[in-house]
Amino acid sequence: MSNTSTIARKYDRAFGLFDVDGNGVIEKKDFDLLADAVLRVGGIKAGTVKERELHKTFHACWEAVSAFDDGDGKVTREEFHRALQARFSERGLLEQHYLPAMEASFSVIDTDDDHKVPAAQMVRYLEALGVPVGEAGAVCAEMDIDGDGHITREEFRAGWMDYLLDTTHDTVGSRLLGGNTA
Ligand SMILES: [Ca+2]
Ligand SMILES: [Ca+2]
Ligand SMILES: [Ca+2]
């Protein structure tokens, strides 16, 4: 398979993930729904520092994703592909547009602030993101690089970066969005 089709399929999976309400377009409210799902996993209440930071970073992500919106507030599959290519396709771009939301998400699910999250909690997070219940455990196990039953902030970051940057291999990240079942 060519890199191009691999990337296109990955973007399509990402589209399905971000279209939380499944209405065929990505809107700002999808990001709010996603943020709320992550907050529920961490048991974080509105008005806290973690909640504000999560919403702030998710809204910044929405701004990046909607960069090619034609102005109707609905990001179509085509607009989404163009946005990912322009805003998320290289490490520098990714760190600028996506890393803050990832770090804020980790802080939300790391309820005791020790910079590691038990595997069971990570599985709940992955399921909240829409990873199928049957696959979340395997994804989590791959993310846990040293196999100690906890996902550190570094392991979390590496798993996501793998997915978002790697276009050729079957990484943790591509499993994250169902890479084996395309
Ligand atoms: Ca939607
Ligand atoms: Ca922790
Ligand atoms: Ca670990």
Q: pLDDT tens digits for 136-178?
A: 999 899 999 999 999 999 999 998 888 777 655 455 555 555 5
Which-ligand-closest: CA of 140?
A: 3
For residues 101 and 57, the answer to whether their CB atoms sit within 8 Å is yes
Buried b (16+ CB within 10 A) or exposed e, 41-61: bbebeeeeebbebbbebbebb
pTM recorded for the entire structure: 0.84
Using one digit for the tens of pLDDT, what is the confidence trace for 91-104? Answer: 888 889 899 999 99
- Predicted local distance difference test score (pLDDT) of residue 100: 95
Domain 3-175 listed as CATH 1.10.238.10: yes
| Torsion sign across C-alpha atoms 60, 65, 71, 76 | negative
Using one digit for the tens of pLDDT, what is the confidence trace for 36-93? Answer: 999 999 999 999 999 999 999 999 999 999 999 999 999 999 999 999 888 888 888 8
Which-ligand-closest: CA of 146?
A: 3
Which-ligand-closest: CA of 16?
A: 1
- Predicted local distance difference test score (pLDDT) of residue 60: 95
Centre of ligand 3 to C-alpha 60, Å, is: 29
Centre of ligand 2 to C-alpha 43, Å, is: 13
Centre of ligand 1 to C-alpha 7, Å, is: 21
Using one digit for the tens of pLDDT, what is the confidence trace for 107-116? Answer: 999 999 999 9
Task: Indicate the pLDDT class of residue 180, thresholds 50, 70 and 90.
Answer: very low
Centre of ligand 1 to C-alpha 24, Å, is: 6
Using a CB cutoff of 5 Å, list residues around ligand 3, an ion.
144, 146, 148, 150
